Amino acid sequence: SYVLTQPPSVSVAPGQTARITCGGKKIGDKSVHWYRLKPDQAPVLVVHDDSDRPSGIPERFSGSNSGNTATLTISRVEAGDGADYYCQVWDDKTDQRLFGGGTKLTVL
């Protein structure tokens, strides 16, 4: 089955740029979505279809996808960006929705 691999953790200082990767075989051929999870809050879609931002999501959030790696980039990181981030794709072979293992973003 298709597997998405994320680093367990990423740390960044405020004002710097955080990059969270999502690896998968030929993931560049798929549409990747990214979600932010914070305790006791509803998960939030922050990027869809590789690089599109839903309304209300700051321009600091961007995404890219090519080859075997998709990347969520958060520029000018703020303390409030600290959260768990998950990538997700649709596996067309099985019609399943698959999530990566999640990455904990720590703002130092």
Q: Which tokens belong to 90?
A: 């649709």
Paired residues of 52 in beta bridges: 48
Candidate residues 11, 94, 106, 108; the one interacting with other proteins per rule CB under 8 A: 94
- Where does this chain touch other proteins (CB under 8 A) — which range of 10-18, 21-29, 58-66, 86-94? 86-94
Q: Tokens 């839903």 appear where? A: 54
Q: Are 87 and 22 in contact (CB under 8 A)?
A: yes
Q: Which tokens belong to 75?
A: 């520029």
Residue numbers 16-75 binding other proteins by CB under 8 A: 31, 33, 35, 37, 40-45, 48-49, 54
- Where does this chain touch other proteins (CB under 8 A) — which range of 14-22, 61-69, 70-78, 99-107? 99-107
Q: Tokens 């998968």 appear where? A: 24
Is 41 or 79 the residue whose CB approaches other proteins more closely? Answer: 41
CA of residue 66 relative to chain centroid, distance: 14
90 near other proteins (CB under 8 A): yes
User: Kind of pairing, strands 83-91 and 96-99?
Assistant: antiparallel
95 near other proteins (CB under 8 A): yes
Residues found near other proteins in the complex (CB under 8 A): 31, 33, 35, 37, 40-45, 48-49, 54, 86, 88-90, 94-102
